[in-house]
Amino acid sequence: MTYNRKRQIAAAVLVLVTAALVANEVRLLVTDPEYDWYLRIQRWIAAVCTMAIYTFLYRENPFYRAFEHVLLGGATGMGCAVIVRQQLIDKWFAPMVQGFRDWFTTGMTPEALSGVLLIVPGIVGLMWYFQYSKRWFWLSRITFCITLGAGVGLGFKDTFNQLLPQITETFKPLWVGARIEPGLSLLARVSLSFENIIFITGTISVLMYFFFVFERKHFVIKGPAQLGRWYLMVALGAFFGNTFMTRLSALIERVHFLVAEWLQWG
Amino acid sequence: MSATRANMFWQRVLYCDPRILYALFACLVVLCEFWRPRMPVPIPPAARKLYDLVERLPQDKLVIIDCELAASIRAECEGQFVAVVRHLFRRNLPFAIMMWTTQPEGIKFGTDIAMKLAQENGKEYGRDFVIWNAITPPPAGGAMLQAFSKDIPGMIQNDIFGTPLAKIGCMRGVQDISDISLIFKVSYVWNRAEVPWIGFVQSVYGTPYAAGCVAIQSSDAYPYVDAGQISGLLAGAAGAAAYERLLNAPGIGTATVSVQSFAALFVFVAIVCGNIAMLMLRATSEPEAAA
């Protein structure tokens, strides 16, 4: 098929699809007594955006690229607006101004002081910008040190609190006897013990896999490390399966939107 | 069929244009929109744990729903959010919806859904539930959560409509984290770095923490469920469907998971066909190479 012929077919398909969409919209306008223009325009915009992004599945095209940039621009603008509005103004500037106002009207009350003191983090934060000056660069290091110190402290607490219970959780009995779980039947105990053995074997073998300080020549190291690799492969397979399911859900939701909400079929 | 023709057939299968697969896949999903298949929904233990926990919660304490619904995760997490809110309404448990403005669309989605469900269940805003003013988590959100745990009204101040929390019925008596019976987070991840509930609230104060997340993130969450740090987990649309089944109220989750099963079957068939084609081609090319 020649290039011109292909273009003619594509144009014909486009015209037909557009006609069908217009006919569908007229159908809704005529049959729906609660036809809402505002809502319909919103849905049309959402549908065009969705389909523009899905055109990438056919091939890279300017239509897709344009909408990708619209999305990125919108998200960046929204991010900036949110930071300025919700954080800088609401959490810092407005309480600070209020603090100064209270100080001048009612005197230095504890509430006024807490507002006035907000000027300190403001100044410390602004010191980041000394990074652009060779002469005053050292001042930015003060802010850097405060941020780093606070971040490390909080991070340490978070990591410690998250991981410690998991480490203690790995101390599982290989045989769940009657003393450990008195109410369980023998079959349940065997099953629980089997689970624990798989769990502990997995933990140890995967840890062995990540010992890179000595060569894996001896079977005591090599065997568990290889088993650990298998465990990791199974885990990665589970990750992939879950990833597929998440992406699939997004597709199903979009198809539902296009069919049920935009076209209002079915 | 001659060997060459068979070879050509398997080559076509193996090197099939992916766009054909995309088209077939899209057709299948669209078809499922019209013909709604009903698939059995198993109940994972982590979803059952959350259900049982909500059943046991006291009615004089507040539940916090940390709602980070975004357009990208709505497909999986909306069902989880709806199911849990429905359960809280059914049990007459007061709850507060909390939103982070890093996901600005979450505010709209969360508010719309909660208001709609309240209307359906005959519940009243302020008396039965509240939507807190959205806050932006700083990069080191742990400090913010520490302050939040000690003084909730001081940290949140107003609801989403600008009403001070002191004037809201279900917020009376809520001062600190000891007045909270459960934190349920609906988000892409089960524990976001900026809002580390487990490290700064659950592990410090022992407040039960449950999560609803997308399926991708669920594999990471299970060690926390085993260790008791997460008291219940709804993983993806399957988690939402399981919870809907426990509530006996099929909804978005059940509908999504049924279509998902069919689409997964399609992909499974495609993978099997691809592998058979590869084996068949290998079987025919090896004797030729040997000759």
Domain assignment present for B178: yes
Domain assignment present for A232: yes
Establish, for the pair of chains A and B, how many residue pairs have beta carbons separated by less than 8 Å. 129
Mutate to test the interface with B, among A249, A257, A265 (most CBs of B within 10 A): A249
**Helix, strand or coil for residue A24?**
helix
Domain assignment present for B34: no
CATH number, domain containing residue B105? 3.40.50
User: Which residue in the block uniquely carries the two structure tokens 């020549």?
Assistant: A217
Domain assignment present for B99: yes
| Helical segments of B57-188, H only | 74-90, 104-121, 141-150, 152-156
The residue segments making up the domain with residue A237 are: 171-262
- Do residue B215 and residue A242 have CB atoms under 8 angstroms apart? yes
The minimum CA-CA distance between B88 and chain A, rounded to whole Å, is 25
For A251, which of B29, B104, B226 is closest by C-beta distance? B29
Domain assignment present for A193: yes
Number of domains in chain B: 1
- Do residue B216 and residue A238 have CB atoms under 8 angstroms apart? no
Tens-binned pLDDT, residue by residue, of chain A (266 aa)? 778 888 899 899 989 999 999 999 999 999 988 889 999 999 999 999 999 999 998 888 999 999 999 989 988 898 888 888 878 888 889 999 999 999 999 988 998 999 999 999 999 999 999 999 999 999 999 999 999 998 899 889 888 888 888 888 888 899 988 888 888 888 999 999 999 999 999 999 999 898 877 777 788 888 889 999 999 999 999 999 899 889 999 999 999 999 999 999 86
Q: Which residues, other chains included, contact B182 with Cβ-Cβ below 8 Å and sequence gap of 6+?
A: B53, B54, B57, B63, B64, B207, B208, B209, B210, B231
Domain assignment present for B7: no
> Could you tell me which chain A residue has the CA closest to the CA of B135?
A86
Distance from C-alpha of A103 to C-alpha of A115, rounded to nearest angstrom: 9
Domain assignment present for A118: no
Q: Does A166 touch chain B (CB under 8 A)?
A: yes
> pTM of whole model > 0.90?
no
Tens-binned pLDDT, residue by residue, of chain B (291 aa)? 566 777 888 888 888 888 899 999 999 988 988 887 788 889 999 999 999 999 999 999 999 999 888 888 888 999 999 999 999 999 999 999 988 766 767 778 889 999 999 999 999 999 999 999 877 777 667 888 888 999 999 888 889 888 999 999 999 889 999 999 999 999 888 877 777 899 999 999 999 999 999 998 888 898 899 899 999 999 999 999 999 999 999 988 998 998 888 888 999 999 999 999 999 988 887 666 666
Instruction: Label the pairing between strands B180-186 and B209-213.
Output: parallel
Domain assignment present for A132: no
Domain assignment present for A221: yes
User: Which residues of A are less than 8 Å from B104 in CB distance?
Assistant: 78, 82
> Could you tell me which chain A residue has the CA closest to the CA of B36?
A266
- Do residue B30 and residue A161 have CB atoms under 8 angstroms apart? no
Q: Does A249 touch chain B (CB under 8 A)?
A: yes
pLDDT digits (tens, 9 = 90+) for B160-179: 888 999 999 999 889 999 99
For B72, which of A91, A157, A250 is closest by C-beta distance? A250
Domain assignment present for A217: yes
Q: Which residues, other chains included, contact B81 with Cβ-Cβ below 8 Å and sequence gap of 6+?
A: B65, B67, B69, B110, B113, B186, B212
CA distances from A11 to A14, A88, A180, B58, B180 (A): 5, 51, 74, 64, 61
- Do residue B75 and residue A252 have CB atoms under 8 angstroms apart? yes
User: Which residue in the block uniquely carries the two structure tokens 């909730």?
Assistant: B152
Domain assignment present for A121: no
User: Which residues of B are less than 8 Å from A260 in CB distance?
Assistant: 33
Q: Does B261 touch chain A (CB under 8 A)?
A: no
Whether the Cβ atoms of residue B63 and residue B94 lie closer than 8 Å to each other: yes
What dihedral do alpha carbons B32, B33, B35, B41 form, nearest 10°? Answer: 70
pLDDT digits (tens, 9 = 90+) for A197-240: 999 999 999 998 988 777 777 888 888 899 999 999 999 999 99
Other beta carbons within 10 angstroms of residue A23's beta carbon come to 10
The minimum CA-CA distance between A155 and chain B, rounded to whole Å, is 8
Backbone phi, psi, residue A122, to 5°: -65, -45
Q: Does A162 touch chain B (CB under 8 A)?
A: yes
Distance from C-alpha of A245 to C-alpha of B192, rounded to nearest angstrom: 21
User: Which residues of A are less than 8 Å from B30 in CB distance?
Assistant: 255, 259
Number of domains in chain A: 1
Domain assignment present for A107: no
Complex-level ipTM: 0.85
The residue segments making up the domain with residue B85 are: 45-255
The minimum CA-CA distance between A153 and chain B, rounded to whole Å, is 10
